[in-house]
Amino acid sequence: MSESVTALPSYASGTSEVPLLGDTIGDNLDRTLAAFGDRDALVERATGRRWTYRELAAEVDLLARGLLAAGIGKGDRVGIWSPNRAEWIFTQYATAKIGAILVNINPAYRVHELEYVLNQAGVRLLVAAKAFKTSDYAGMIEEVRPTCGALRRVVLLDTPQWTELLESGNGVGQDRLAAAQAALSADDPINIQYTSGTTGFPKGATLSHHNILNNGFFVGELCGYTEADRICIPVPFYHCFGMVMGNLAATSHGACMVIPAPAFEPKATLAAVQAEGCTSLYGVPTMFIAELAEDDFDSYDLSTLRTGIMAGSPCPVEVMKQVIERMGMHEVTICYGMTETSPVSTQTRADDSLDLRVSTVGRAHPHIEVKIVDPATGLTVPRGVQGELCTRGYSVMLGYWEQPDKTAEAIDAARWMHTGDLAVMDEQGYVGITGRIKDMVIRGGENIYPREIEEFLYGHPDILDAQVIGVPDQKYGEELMAWVRMRPGAEPLTAERVREFCTGKLAHYKIPRYVHVVDEFPMTVTGKIRKVEMRERAVGILGLG
């Protein structure tokens, strides 16, 4: 019999003795309140404000009643445009309680993107910060308001508008809120998250209570969370990493959410872990790199840390080793996912070896199926063979908001979500991400996956971080360009020195022809590297126009 027939297919399903939750988010929060009312629920380090679960639930219910008083009900869209703060969380849970659909708006958006999202989602009420850093949110909102027909009311935080919205909740009885909550199904849409589309306008992934509550819960289960855990969340709430893997993982287990700062600051994050005795810390690799690089890193007491999550992009081996050895996060897990899958589809387990935690993104999540298919034929490939990663289960989004054509491109007839990521599954079912289908570089007919070269460059003693892209080339079609960040005090690298480092260790066609030294990479707010922007800028830098 031929090997292709006997080899196991690249398919796995996540088994679990723990059943899926059938709750709505509001009902689940009420259960946690009943069990852990006096325990810490939320700490906001920037203001020193703190809430127990009883106090958090009271804030959420008051805001939910205020939204009802404002005429907001089931299915209405409520936008939130703010950096991380307590009011973001109040709004997240208050909208869930009444069945309004929370529309997460990226804090980095400018006028053009804001206008698009408000109109595409049909946002009726917008909760927003007045300003943050260089962004004048209030000014931008006024600029787009005349063209946003659905928008009836804007509520700016830290103004009388917010106080009025809350106070109006006093005029609505708790029985009316209870009736609104009782009329909800766990399968109702509850959240629209706009994916940072690399081309064209972003698409609104529409997620249900069932999608995100269960995903947050099972992320927490695999981190071993109980009511004794305290989770430091420096990743943005507007993204699934913050609001699902952070907030919902916490509230479904009675754990405490700690907001170290409105946006990521390495020192504030380390200080929050120390001051609050955090047991878990989240971040994308670039955040952990920044924390470890702090001059006074060793002065922070991080001894309470046990676990945490690294996600968003592949984790370099050296970074993972330091997170375990220097930060004490011996049970740190790697998660893989995308907004359209609520987000997590695979996760490493606390007892997985260091090698598995850096070379893979773990195994299928509980109640989730994953498979790897040939992108051309759609057939499942044998284990060990690269293909496109697909995932199916409770976590797959309802669809892109009012874009059935785009939904059909991403989710096939059998409800498999096609991720666009290239991956390999090993004999034990562990999945390794090998690149993006769109990131693949074709140089003179050779398919090159930048991830392999980036991992190799991390081994250079002077390189702190590296990203590899393809740039246009007349002879080969594409050539490789490495963008590198240097370690403090290191001499900037030339292409010649990088070539010397690579020669004899990498195939000649995998050696970057161009090297560009930068202080930072262009990034999304969630810490994902914007390779599309790097490619655009590279054309100008190299004079390839």
Question: d(Cα 219, Cα 14) in Å, to the nearest integer?
Answer: 13
**CB of 122 closer than 8 Å to CB of 150:** yes
* Residue 310, H or E segment: strand 307-310
Model confidence, pTM: 0.87
Question: d(Cα 421, Cα 372) in Å, to the nearest integer?
Answer: 10
**CB of 385 closer than 8 Å to CB of 10:** yes
Residue 12 has phi, psi (to 5 degrees) of -150, 150
Q: What is the pLDDT of residue 5?
A: 56
**CB of 457 closer than 8 Å to CB of 463:** yes
* Residue 448, H or E segment: strand 446-448
Question: d(Cα 35, Cα 49) in Å, to the nearest integer?
Answer: 22
Instruction: Give me the DSSP letters along 249-287.
Output: HHHTTTPEEEE--SS--HHHHHHHHHHHT-SEEEE-HHH
Residue 294 vs residues 41, 417, 431: alpha-carbon distances, Å: 29, 40, 32
Q: What is the pLDDT of residue 1?
A: 40
* Residue 511, H or E segment: none
Question: d(Cα 369, Cα 365) in Å, to the nearest integer?
Answer: 8
**Which of 151, 104, 95, 159 lies closest to 131, judged by CA?**
159
The CB density around residue 435, as the number of other CB atoms within 10 Å, is 20
Which DSSP letter does residue 130 get? S
The amino acid occupying position 178 is A
Q: What is the pLDDT of residue 200?
A: 59
The CB density around residue 479, as the number of other CB atoms within 10 Å, is 22
Average pLDDT across each block of 10 residues of the chain; the chain has 545 residues. List them in order: 69 98 98 98 98 98 98 98 98 99 92 93 98 95 97 98 98 98 98 73 93 98 98 96 98 99 97 98 92 97 98 83 96 96 97 92 98 94 97 98 96 96 96 86 81 89 95 89 95 94 87 96 83 93 90
The amino acid occupying position 483 is W
Q: What is the pLDDT of residue 507?
A: 79
Q: What is the pLDDT of residue 527?
A: 76
Residues 6+ apart with CB under 8 A from 405: none
Which DSSP letter does residue 134 get? T
Question: Residue 29: helix, strand or coil by DSSP?
Answer: helix
Question: d(Cα 74, Cα 177) in Å, to the nearest integer?
Answer: 11
- List the domains of the chain with CATH numbers: 25-425 (3.40.50.12780), 441-541 (3.30.300.30)
Q: What is the pLDDT of residue 60?
A: 98
Q: What is the pLDDT of residue 438?
A: 81
- Tallying the residues shown for the chain, one arrives at 545
Task: State the burial class of residue 349 (Cβ atoms within 10 Å of its Cβ: 0-12, 13-18, 19+).
Answer: middle
Residues 6+ apart with CB under 8 A from 64: 26, 93, 94, 95, 97, 98, 169, 177, 180
Which DSSP letter does residue 494 get? P
**Which of 33, 42, 92 lies closest to 67, judged by CA?**
92
**Which of 337, 26, 338 lies closest to 190, judged by CA?**
26
Q: How far is CA 314 from the centre of its chain?
A: 13
- Can you name the residues that pair with 78 across neighbouring β-strands? 102, 125
**CB of 244 closer than 8 Å to CB of 218:** no
User: Pairing mode, if any, of strands 463-473 and 477-486?
Assistant: antiparallel
Q: What is the pLDDT of residue 358?
A: 87
Q: What angle do CA 340, 307, 261 make, to 5 degrees?
A: 70
Question: d(Cα 126, Cα 76) in Å, to the nearest integer?
Answer: 11
Q: What is the pLDDT of residue 196?
A: 62
